[in-house]
Amino acid sequence: MTGEYLFEIMGELDDDTVIEAREPVKRQRSWRLLVPIAACLALITVLVMRAAPPMDGGALDGESYAVDCEAPPMVCVGRGLYSIATEQPELAGREDEFEYLGEITSRVDSAEQPRESFQANDDLIGSRVYRLDEDIVVEYEGKYLLYELLYNYKDEE
Amino acid sequence: MDDDGIIRLFWDRDERAIEVTAEKYGRYCGSIAGNILKSPEDREECLSDTYMRAWGSMPKDWPRALSAYLGRITRNLAFNRYKEARAQKRGGGEVSLVLEELSECVSGTVEGECDRRELARAVNSFVQGLPEGKRRVFVRRYWYADPVKDIARDNNMRPDAVSKTLERIREKLREYLTERGFEL
């Protein structure tokens, strides 16, 4: 059989499959969109609190408010920052698609953003990390959690 | 005009059918022809042939999905032209790369060309079984012959992730067909 023949055979795919492929991708509800919004809101809150006199007359500094603002679970692998996907697909049984990368070795506070490779802002130390296409999968307590690429630190350079 | 209205024009032998089809689907069919044929003249001729083919076939057919119907005609005509051009060593567009990739799934000999309908059914079933995201990527590459960078852009992926995904799906397709007794 030749590649040409297989290409011709592909031409007989169902209409629905053909149409679906060129339809705009529905964007998943994702932390990717919420993180910048949450960050802006936190910043505005801090600025407002710093500008306004405290109601109870006590000391108020912006930092205490910023720390209260929890970030979503994130993991840094290589130069990529990944955030947990809000819609978790079933990943059990797809292990042959995983590429093992290593284990989470350090963590930062849950309000912070991990910046070093194999660092998380959650209790994931020792969890195995795999690549799955452009995303990563973290194995935690026997479950696979999908994290989507949020940001590339190399973009800062 | 909606698709049923366009099909009605074809059935009524109203020549506006071609004008309206070109207006609504010219760009879509043009992109398919463009991925397969390098020469702009060949693409234009292929588009004209598509409308003529639709004109000839429509009184018999009432397509369920006009876009896929026209796209399929364009794809077949463009690929036939590609084969003629290649025989004359004039080459082709993106499809040359697509064919190279597909050649990795098969032996490259003509002896193994098994029952076309059975194979088409098996390939369809394999593609249906893929998760939606992978199916989109696979169909964009091997039905539309779309460039990897365009597929990556439209699916929020990096080009290298698209290439890796395609490589894995090709390998799975090969396994799937081999397990079902197809001689590749």
Give how far A88 is from chain B: nearest CA, Å. Answer: 14
Between chains, do A3 and B143 touch, taking CB under 8 Å as contact? no
Q: Which residue of B has its CA nearest to A15?
A: B68
Smallest Cα–Cα separation from B69: which of B103, B21, B109? B21
Averaged pLDDT for residues B155-163 = 87
Task: Count structural domains, chain A.
Answer: 1
B25 touches chain A (CB under 8 A): no
What pLDDT score does A63 carry?
Answer: 44
CA dist B46 and B109 (Å) reads: 29
Chain center to CA of B43 = 14
Q: CA torsion B57→B27→B138→B126, rounded to 10°?
A: -20
B contact residues 36-55, partner A, Cβ 8 Å cutoff = none
What pLDDT score does B112 carry?
Answer: 55
What pLDDT score does B2 carry?
Answer: 93
| Residues of A whose CB is below 8 A from B128 | 14, 17
Q: At what angle do helices B132-142 and B159-179 cross, to 10 degrees?
A: 90
Q: Name the residue with higher pLDDT: B85 or B130.
A: B130
ipTM over 0.85: yes
B68 touches chain A (CB under 8 A): yes
Q: Which residue of A has its CA nearest to B103?
A: A3
| Residues of A whose CB is below 8 A from B183 | 1
Averaged pLDDT for residues B26-32 = 96
Taking chain A (157 residues) in runs of 10, the rounded mean pLDDT of each run is 90 94 71 63 68 49 46 88 85 84 92 91 92 88 88 64
Number of Cα atoms under 13 Å in the Cβ half of residue B86: 14
Residue B89's pLDDT band (boundaries 50, 70, 90)? Answer: low
Hey, CA dihedral for B162, B167, B172, B178, is it positive or negative?
Answer: positive
Return the CATH fold of B3-87: Rna Polymerase Sigma Factor; Chain: A (1.10.1740)
Averaged pLDDT for residues B18-30 = 96
Task: Determine which of A6, A98, A101 to mutate to test the interface with B (most B C-beta atoms within 10 Å).
Answer: A6
What pLDDT score does A156 carry?
Answer: 55
* B3-87 and B95-179 share one fold: no
Look at residue B16 and tell me whether its pLDDT is greater than 90: yes
| Residues of B whose CB is below 8 A from A14 | 124, 128
What pLDDT score does A58 carry?
Answer: 43
Neighbours of B16 (CB within 10 A): 12
B contact residues 162-181, partner A, Cβ 8 Å cutoff = 164-165, 168
B130 touches chain A (CB under 8 A): no
For residue A77, the enclosing domain spans 3-156
Between chains, do B106 and A6 touch, taking CB under 8 Å as contact? yes
Q: Name the residue with higher pLDDT: A133 or B172.
A: B172
Please return the burial class of A74, using the count of CB atoms within 10 Å of its CB with bins 0-12, 13-18 and 19+: buried
Residue with tokens 């190399």: A154
Q: Name the residue with higher pLDDT: A95 or B17.
A: B17
What pLDDT score does A11 carry?
Answer: 93
What pLDDT score does B87 carry?
Answer: 67
* pLDDT tens readout for residues B101-134: 998 888 766 655 568 889 999 999 999 999 888 9
The domain limits of chain B are: 3-87, 95-179
Q: Which residue of A has its CA nearest to B78?
A: A8
Please return the burial class of B36, using the count of CB atoms within 10 Å of its CB with bins 0-12, 13-18 and 19+: buried
Amino acid at A29: R
Q: Which residues, other chains included, contact B20 with Cβ-Cβ below 8 Å and sequence gap of 6+?
A: B1, B5, B6, B9
What pLDDT score does B127 carry?
Answer: 95
Give how far B145 is from chain A: nearest CA, Å. Answer: 9
Share of chain B above pLDDT 70, in %: 93
Return the CATH fold of B95-179: Butyryl-CoA Dehydrogenase, subunit A; domain 3 (1.20.140)
